[in-house]
């Protein structure tokens, strides 16, 4: 069971690093910081990564070295890899003595007032490595029950879980009367016993909002009930509409956290709102309504986690769980079930949930809300036959009290019956394992126009609090009958006549439509005003024809952010909107003009030129120069993508003789490696020599007689595929191969010279995927 407080809303950012953002400059007094946060009702979750700085005199390093806890290289010496602190060593959590050593450190760490611990980078991630992790040849001295001494390839997948387990055990040592909260990036089957999981570093795009639903559901099906995405997206700048929509959906996920990276716009729920004429801006209002929903549903969400603890059932499930026999429900990607609640959302910027055709599972599903229906919030339906508990919308879960009014939302099934349960305990600690809880089963039944609600069964040693019970019987169309009484007593609601029922439902539906029509929708905004750079959630242009699908963002460098070979399904290039992917520069220095300017779309679909799909882009790179790029998939050869790029002089001053500054056209694609250790570049040079260039080579230039003779090929041995890049050797004067972490750049460089109207620089090249025997 997670501590109940961990089910509230989490706010995080890389990095809150100033007194204006938090309290004191760079956190000089963490204990006081935490005390102040606790006084305001906040909990504090601190991050611990596995990489320990390789520095004598640092007490953690000295202690670990003395106890011989580090993962070793094949030669028996500790492996040193670079991560955030610089050169680091890594604990070998496969050993019980190392887990105990780490747990003791965590115990001491918690004394600072730590409420939860976030284990990040625990795959383990390692910088400056082609595989993004440590070498498979590294040695773990694992416990016999795990398999004993083995190389890293044997233990890699369980490393993150074992770290989370060690952290969990350390928190229990610190206080055995509290349930640890651990959040882990890496996990394995069974890691749900020790930690929650989030879906990783996502992007502020509508595509990643859409993907977040299926990712949470799949984690649930894999045994991890407590998961969720970075609401609003980690990388990039969310627009108000994207953030508000994401918050509406994210507030219904098991784990609810907003998070973003450094140098992005503020991604807090209140960051998109400001007071104007005493009206709260739309995004902030949607976020407020969404989080208020979550806190009202908290008694039910907590009960779902108890059921997950007892029976292993996911908290959020795919829609088809309501009717496994209906194959059409398996295709739904914008809805899910939160227990008996059907959540129907829109993950498209131009579509409102209330304007979509809602596909419901068979049976009775009754729409409900909290007088908060909004075009940017998901629609909610309760399954007939269900009773769910609701609570007051507290500011934080520390305000909850057992004597708070309890509400029950009731939806009768076809037989006029319903049932539900609520689990209650201290919300922390392990008293519930000793019977210190109250599990109440409620049933409702319609007989002779009277609905009777009563307690049918109770479990646990807790006595029922003396509190008021508010029963809300759903009638359809959002209408309901209300009855107040005392919890534990038999309550009866008299059903209205058919005529009265019709009036109630009609009035409720009218009120619902009025709320939606008068609600202030979050406006469409292509850019975040006054914030960093161009908006990253604008929709890329897609070229799709023949064997290829490409996505292009003209507004940031005209870059290609996705290049997918359709027959194989291989995405050879995939990047963020604002950096990497396919870029072009105008100088020999890195990040020279051309890669970030806004490009204009000059032409699209050049039918007269014979292309099936084509786009012509042009960007001003200063000094009277433009960088022009045409991307096309020819009808006569749909297997290839052709890219023709030029630096052209448009308005070069007469004082320079008509010639520009020195420029160099650099084609700079960064390809994604699906199998980094099994990928290499192959080519035959002009002098006839054959070359195989593997990731271990780092960065290599090729020019003169060893320049590739018009083509080179990126080969993935596991896939049996090669990406061929053909070019004109009279245009490319130099080639560069640069291996990164799971990526490779295959760069083409023109000569470095001035250009005039009569003498532009040009590189024409093409890509094709072929099979490799």
- Annotated active-site positions, please? 120, 123, 201
Up-side HSE of residue 384: CA atoms within 13 Å toward CB? 17
Residue whose entry in the numeric block shows the structure tokens 């209140």: 270
User: Distance between the two ends of the chain, CA-based, in angstroms?
Assistant: 52
Residue whose entry in the numeric block shows the structure tokens 């595509």: 207
- Number of Cβ atoms within 10 Å of the Cβ of 57: 6
556: exposed, middle or buried (C-beta count within 10 Å: 0-12, 13-18, 19+)? buried
**Which residues on neighbouring strands pair with residue 629, listed in sequence order?**
617, 645
Give the H/E segment covering residue 493: strand 491-494
- Number of Cβ atoms within 10 Å of the Cβ of 723: 23
Pairing of strands 761-771, 721-727: antiparallel
The DSSP output letter for 91 is B
Task: Specify whether the CB–CB gap between 477 and 506 falls below 8 A.
Answer: yes
Cα separation of 632 and 635, whole Å? Answer: 9
Q: Which residues have a Cβ under 8 Å from the Cβ of 121 and sit 6 or more positions away?
A: 49, 50, 51, 83, 84, 185
Cα separation of 237 and 533, whole Å? Answer: 9
Cα separation of 664 and 579, whole Å? Answer: 20
Beta-sheet strand order (sheet of 679-684): 599-604, 611-622, 625-634, 640-649, 761-771, 721-727, 711-716, 679-684, 690-693
């Amino acid at each position: 069971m997670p501590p109940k407080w961990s089910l509230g809303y989490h706010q995080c950012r890389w990095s809150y690093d100033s007194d204006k953002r938090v309290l004191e400059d760079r956190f000089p007094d963490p204990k006081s910081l935490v005390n102040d946060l606790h006084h305001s009702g906040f909990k504090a979750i601190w991050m611990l990564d596995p990489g320990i700085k390789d520095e004598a005199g640092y007490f953690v390093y000295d202690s670990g070295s003395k106890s011989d806890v580090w993962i070793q290289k094949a030669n028996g010496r500790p492996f040193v890899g670079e991560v955030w602190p610089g050169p680091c060593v890594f604990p070998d959590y496969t050993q019980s003595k190392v887990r105990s050593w780490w747990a003791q450190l965590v115990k001491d760490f918690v004394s600072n007032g730590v409420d939860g611990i976030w284990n990040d980078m625990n795959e383990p991630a390692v910088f400056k490595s082609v595989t993004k992790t440590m070498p498979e040849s590294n040695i773990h001295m694992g416990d016999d029950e795990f398999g004993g001494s083995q190389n890293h390839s044997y233990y890699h997948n369980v490393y993150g879980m074992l770290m989370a387990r060690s952290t969990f055990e350390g928190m229990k040592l610190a206080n055995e009367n509290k349930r640890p909260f651990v959040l882990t990036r890496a996990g394995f089957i069974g890691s749900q016993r020790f930690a929650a999981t989030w879906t990783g570093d996502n992007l502020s795009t509508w595509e990643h909002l859409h993907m977040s639903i299926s990712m949470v559901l799949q984690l649930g099906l894999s045994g991890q009930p407590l998961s969720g995405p970075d609401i609003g997206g980690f990388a990039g700048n969310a627009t108000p509409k994207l953030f508000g929509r994401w918050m509406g959906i994210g507030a219904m996920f098991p784990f609810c956290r907003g998070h973003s990276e450094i140098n992005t716009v503020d991604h807090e729920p209140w960051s998109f709102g400001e007071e104007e004429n005493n009206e709260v801006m739309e995004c902030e209002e949607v976020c407020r309504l969404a989080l208020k929903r979550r806190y009202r549903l908290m008694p039910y969400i907590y009960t779902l986690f108890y059921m997950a603890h007892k029976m292993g059932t996911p908290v959020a499930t795919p829609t088809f769980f309501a009717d496994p026999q209906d194959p059409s429900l398996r295709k739904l990607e914008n809805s899910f079930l939160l227990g008996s609640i059907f959540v129907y959302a829109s993950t498209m910027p131009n579509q409102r949930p209330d304007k979509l055709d809602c596909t419901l599972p068979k049976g009775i599903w009754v729409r409900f809300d909290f007088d908060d229906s909004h075009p940017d919030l998901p629609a909610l339906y309760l399954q007939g036959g269900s009773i769910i508990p609701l609570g007051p919308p507290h500011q934080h879960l520390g305000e909850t009290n057992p004597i708070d009014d309890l509400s029950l939302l009731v939806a009768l099934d076809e037989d006029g019956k319903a049932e539900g349960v609520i689990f209650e305990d201290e919300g922390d600690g392990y008293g519930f394992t000793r019977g210190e809880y109250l599990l109440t089963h409620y049933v409702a039944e319609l007989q002779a126009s009277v609905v009777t609600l009563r307690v049918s069964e109770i479990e646990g040693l807790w006595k029922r609090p003396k509190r008021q019970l508010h029963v809300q019987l759903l009638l359809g169309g959002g209408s309901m009958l209300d009855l107040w009484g005392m919890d534990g007593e038999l309550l009866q609601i008299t059903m209205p006549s058919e005529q009265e029922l019709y009036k109630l439902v009609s009035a409720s539906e009218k009120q619902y439509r009025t709320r939606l029509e008068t609600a202030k929708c979050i406006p469409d905004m292509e850019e975040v005003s006054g914030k960093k750079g161009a908006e990253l959630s604008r929709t890329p242009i897609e070229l799709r024809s023949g064997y290829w699908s490409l996505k292009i963002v003209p507004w940031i460098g005209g870059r290609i952010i996705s290049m997918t070979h359709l027959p194989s399904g291989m995405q050879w290039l995939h990047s963020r909107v604002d950096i990497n992917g396919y870029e072009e520069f105008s100088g020999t220095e890195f990040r020279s003009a051309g890669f970030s300017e806004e490009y204009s779309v000059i032409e699209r679909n050049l039918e007269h030129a014979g292309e099936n799909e084509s786009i012509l882009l042009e960007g001003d790179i200063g000094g009277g120069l433009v960088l022009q790029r045409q991307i096309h998939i020819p009808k006569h050869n749909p297997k290839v993508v052709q890219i023709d790029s030029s630096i052209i002089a448009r308005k070069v001053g007469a004082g320079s003789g008509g010639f520009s500054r020195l420029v160099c056209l650099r084609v700079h694609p960064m390809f994604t490696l699906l199998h980094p250790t099994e990928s290499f570049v192959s080519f035959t040079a002009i002098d006839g020599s054959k070359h195989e260039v593997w990731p271990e080579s780092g960065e290599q230039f090729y020019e003169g007689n060893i320049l590739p003779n018009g083509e080179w090929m990126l080969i993935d041995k596991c896939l049996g595929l090669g990406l061929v890049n053909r070019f004109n050797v009279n245009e490319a004067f130099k080639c560069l191969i640069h291996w990164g972490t799971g990526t490779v750049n295959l760069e083409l460089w023109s000569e470095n010279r001035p250009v005039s109207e009569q003498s532009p620089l040009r590189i024409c090249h093409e890509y094709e995927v072929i099979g490799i025997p």
